Structure 1
Amino acid sequence: MLGKTPKYHQVNVFQTPLRNFINIEHELVKLAETINWDAVEVEFKAYFAELGRPGVPIRKMVGLMLLKSLYNLSDENTVARWVENPYYQYFTGEFVFQTTPPIDPADFSKFRRRIGEQGAEKLLKLSIQLNAVTRIQKYSNFRNVNTVKSGTIIQ
C-alpha cells in the first residue's frame, strides 16, 4: 500500500521545523524545491498495491535513492548519513529533524525489486537530470554567476 507524505504538519513546541535551522541556500534545499514531487509520486504510484500495510512514502524512498546516486553511497551509508544530516532529511520530505533511521538498508533492494526495470529507468532519468542541475549550480557558484533558470524537474 502506498505510504503518504503529510502535506501539512502540526507545529510542536518541542520540535523545531527543519526550515528554521537549515540554510535555505544549500544545494539540497534548492534541489528539493526544483523537483516536482507530486509528479514523482504519480510516476511511482503504479508500483504500490492498493491494499495492505502502508509502505514508506514515495518521496522518502525516491529521495533516498537519489541521494544514494548523487553522493555515490552504499545502502547502509545512505541511511546512516540521513540520520545525521538535516539536509538529507529535508530533501526526502521530513518536516522536523529525526533521530531514527527512516528505513532498514535492506528496504533499498526491496524497493528496487518493486519498481523493476521500468522504475529503475525513471530513477536513472531523474538522477541524470539532477546531476546536470547540480553541475550547473556548482559551475555558476564557482563563477559567481547565476545561470540556473528556475523550473521543475519531471513535469
Structure 2
Amino acid sequence: MISDQESFTLSPYIAIYDLVVPQENMLRQIKELVDFSFILEELKTKYCLDNGRNAVPPIRMFKYLLLKSIYDLSDVDIVQRSRYDMSFKYFLDMAPEDPVIDPSLLTKFRKHRLKDVGLLELLIGKTVEIALEKEIIKSKTIIVDSTHTQSRYNQKSPKEFLQEKSKNLRKAVYQIDESMKEKFPPKSTSDEVEDEL
C-alpha cells in the first residue's frame, strides 16, 4: 500500500545533518533543488492505494537506485553504505537512527514496480536533466550501461588468453606470409598452459 501523504521525519538527531552534510554536498543540493514528486506520479499505478501493509516510499526506493547509478555500487553495497553515510541517509529522507532496507527490496522494486525496463532510465534521465538545469551536475562524464559487458570477474583462463593471442598472431603472420603455416608449431590440444606457450 502506498500513502498519498508525505511522511515527515521526526527525530531528536535530525540536526546532525546540518553538521555533517555540507551545503556544497552534491546529494544535499540534489535533494533540496529537485522535486522528486514526479516519481509518485509515474509509479502511482504500480501500487495499491488502500490495501495491504505500507510499502517503503517509492521515492526512497528510487533514490536508492539513483545512488546506485551515481556511485556504481551493487544493491548490497549501496544499502550497506546508506547505513553509515550521513549524506546518503539525508538524501534518502531518513533519520540518522533509521534502519536501512534489505537489499532484496531493490530487486523486487525493479521487477514489480519498474517492469518496463525503460522506466528506470526515464526517471534517472529526468532527475539528471533537472540536476543539470539547476547546475548541480556540471560533469562531462558519460555514464555507460554495462549490463551486457564482460565482468572482470568472468575473465578467460590463462590457457584461453594464450590461445586467443596465439590465434591472432598466426592470423596476422599468415596475412603477410602464408608459407609460415609449415614453420609454426602445431596448435596445442592439451590443457597445459606450458604447451600453449
TM-score, normalized by the shorter chain, greater than 0.5? yes
Instruction: Say whether the 8 Å CA contact 1:18–1:90 is kept in structure 2.
Output: no
Which residue is 2:151 aligned to? none
Return closer, same or farther for 1:11/1:131 CA change in 2, 3 Å cut-off.
Answer: closer
Instruction: Say whether the 8 Å CA contact 1:70–1:127 is kept in structure 2.
Output: no
Q: CA deviation at 1:17?
A: 2.7
Aligned mates of 2:66, 2:31 — CA distance in 1: 11
Alignment of 1:2-151 (within 5 A): 2=2, 5-6=6-7, 8-10=8-10, 12=12, 15-21=13-19, 22-50=21-49, 51-94=51-94, 96-98=95-97, 100=99, 102-118=100-116, 120-131=117-128, 133=132, 136-138=137-139
User: Runs (4+) of structure 1 moved beyond 6 Å?
Assistant: none
Q: Give 1:33's aligned amino acid.
A: E
Q: How many residues get paired? A: 133
Q: CA deviation at 1:77?
A: 0.1
Give the aligned CA root-mean-square deviation in angstroms.
2.4
Whose RCO is larger (CA < 8 A, sep 6+)? Answer: 1
TM-score (norm 1): 0.72
Q: Give 1:86's aligned amino acid.
A: M
Return closer, same or farther for 1:36/1:105 CA change in 2, 3 Å cut-off.
Answer: same
Instruction: Say whether the 8 Å CA contact 1:70–1:131 is kept in structure 2.
Output: no
Instruction: Say whether the 8 Å CA contact 1:5–1:93 is kept in structure 2.
Output: no
Instruction: Say whether the 8 Å CA contact 2:17–2:86 is kept in structure 1.
Output: no
Q: Give percent identity, aligned residues only.
A: 24
Structure 1 residue runs of 5 or longer lacking an equivalent are: 140-155
Aligned mates of 1:16, 1:135 — CA distance in 2: 24
Structure 2 residue runs of 5 or longer lacking an equivalent are: 141-197
